[in-house]
Structure 1
Amino acid sequence: MAYLDEIKATVKARNPHDREFLQAVDEVLDSLEIVVEKDPSLLGSGIFERIVEPERQIIFRVPWVDDKGKVQVNRGYRVQFNSAIGPYKGGLRFHPSVNLSIIKFLGFEQVFKNALTTLPMGGGKGGSDFDPKGKSDQEIMRFCQSFMSELYRHIGADCDVPAGDIGVGAREVGYLFGQYKRLRNTFSGTLTGKGLTWGGSLIRKEATGYGLCYFTEAMLNDHQKSMAGKKVVISGSGNVAIYAAEKAAQLGALVIAMSDSKGYVYDPCGIDLDLIKEIKEVKRERIKVYADMKKDVTYVDCCKDIWTIPCDIALPCATQNELDEAGAKALLSHGVIAVAEGANMPCTPEAIAAFQNAKILYAPGKASNAGGVACSGLEMSQNSMRYSWSSEEVDAKLKTIMESIYQNVAQTADAYGHTDNFVVGANIAGFLKVAQAMKEQGIV
């Protein structure tokens, strides 16, 4: 459609080097052509022009002192993308790969993901090119305090509520929150992923992985299948991957492979999750150690090759664009029946096309990995009430949210003539909710 093509061209001209952001925008706008055809009134209020432009982009210097007394300088980001349906909500990522393009793509995706959760949250994202790996606790604390010394001006419980992401776990959230509280002299629900003794929610650490499996199971059930008895390959070994593996096993699946940024392990008898947790959560070591400690386990020094392992279900839970066309073809050649994204945009456009052309079940991350931010929304609710739900209550609410996301996505795809195209369903369902709020609030 010429109108949306013009918007794409404008976005590309304004962001010529932001590859990940442009990829995300193209994918969403391609899905929305049929929405414009059905409701041309959307064109008159500039919804599309506004929804692809962040409301605010903040870039700042983060100076800190390492253990040798040397001053280090990193770059910090916060992109507040859209607040039409609630305060900006999205994680902070600390990783050397972080740049403005990645933060904008993540913030843009967060807008639609948060809309799908049914909770009142807008979309945002932030982070830094700081690498926590190999740093002492004191170095990480000094960095987090410096980072928050700038970020605190731009966030708040009713304005922007960051959370964790890659490189930002409970330790980092604690240091960030402590500095925020010190600077603002207020105790509020401004960050989520907090410790359980000071405002955090039960199940938050597990939520993205659990939610991914709840969504996948709902998708399979709707097609007279289930996870029970299926072989599952999961990329990554952070929170998302670990707790996706845990929930998959609880649902009767056999998880046979996991990875980190260096390589993957294949355990045909099923991954020993307690050992993975010890290696990754306690010792913070490479996944290769798993193969050193267990018999009949294969370690391969190339994480991308994990997709060559025959499986029924693939759950990419590591990072963006990790599963390319070659990986997709390898999975399809071995009879994979479902792929659901646990990471943000882990499948390349070519991989997605391969899955859709093969008519397998494919779930995009903005729907299938929404469990983390959904639980963050539940944490915000508990903070507002000064109240805590039990783990069973939170888990039940999470399961209900993920099942409702699946139903919304599936029904929307069907209503627009694209049955089982969950990319189209997720993009349209999320967009329609945000667009309606933007129309009603005027040109802002």
Structure 2
Amino acid sequence: MPLDARGLLRRMFDAAVDAARPEHCMAAYLPEPPRGRLIVVGAGKASAAMAQAFESCWAGPLSGLVITRYGHTVSTARIEVVEAAHPVPDLAGLTAARRIRELVQGLTPDDTVVALISGGGSSLLAAPAEGLALADKQAVSRSLLQSGATISEMNCVRRHLSTLKGGKLAALCHPAKVVSLLVSDVPGDSALDIASGPTVADPTTCGDALSIIRRYGIAVPDHVLDVLESGRGETIKPGDPRLAGHAMHMIATPQMALEAAARVARAAGVTPYILGDAIEGEARHVGKVMAGISMQVAKRGQPFSAPCVLLSGGETTVTVRGAGRGGRNVEFLLSLAIALDGQPGIHAIAGDTDGVDGQEEIAGAFIAPDTMARAWSRGIQPAESLEANDGHGFFEALGDTLVTGPTRTNVNDFRAVLVTSGQEPLAARASPSGVPGNNSYRP
């Protein structure tokens, strides 16, 4: 029976997401019941589902507030859930962040604060540094998102323009104990970069943030520069006694998601190879590299033999130059499809595990050996779509988008390139010249 490539790719993506759902991970990381109060705070795309899971496991009294993205809420009984904007912060996030500050004031050593932190919290936990307004944070966020800076670089800037990130939330909780439960969406599972590390000591400085702004030519208001140049935005440093004795646990990670997808592949008789859970770089460049590896597999059986699937995670970047609609996953796939040039036997999926690639409720997309031919037959120029950063427009026109709705978790991007065989005959393909299978011609 022929392999259902698209069906297998979707099952792998679904398994990756399912493995990272908070309800499957939370019970093993509950703190000891405190003698005093237990307060739950948090922010991120998974924070509502994390709060629900925590409630279901915790028998004792608790109260709290978490902030999640619009559309990502779930029903909770004791922990309040507030929705706010992502990736650019809004007034709802600012108001909720102020309420979290109030919740952790005046605690005692008998109290425990559980911080539920996941990706997206950098914008959801909107708490501008003294002297800055929400509009300043919004302007900086938009500039960072279009700059091509890595997630680590963006979060370095965000930490130093905040009153809660870079360990400042944990410092406010002192002398209470803080237990941080994290769902990782960043390369290398760096706690400092998950929601810009509100409960994590930060070795970077205001000077580092300034260097990043200058490196990428990011335009920021003068009073934002003043916060950094004066050092007023400095974060909590390693060794600060206010963070002593705190606990931190990664309850879900990109590696866990990739391993779950690998199990699905093996069950289907396809050998999985996990290439890495922390792959970064420009999305279109990563697409070209992945095309080269997968074609070597298809044509020469190196470094792996087909059928196999190449799995990877991480967070690529997109330097926005065009006016199209896109995200890093569809940018990766469009570049991959162009580089593969209709190579037989290669299919792929890429999607954000939170269900949102870029700023739209589209998780990602699929490609197949006929992707380019189908685009040309509709008068779509793939290279022009890539230049316009219009991955969503491209894949919507082909009916190849991946739409999941809010998954309420977030373990970064998931990519799977399935190489079924290197021996499939090249199907006749429509091309602008009218010559089937003309790989050398470009419209």
Q: How does the TM-score come out when normalised to structure 2?
A: 0.31
The structure carrying a bigger helix percent of its residues is: 1
**Higher RCO structure (Cα 8 Å, ≥6 apart):** 2
Report which of the two structures shows the higher radius of gyration computed on alpha carbons: 2
Q: How does the TM-score come out when normalised to structure 1?
A: 0.31
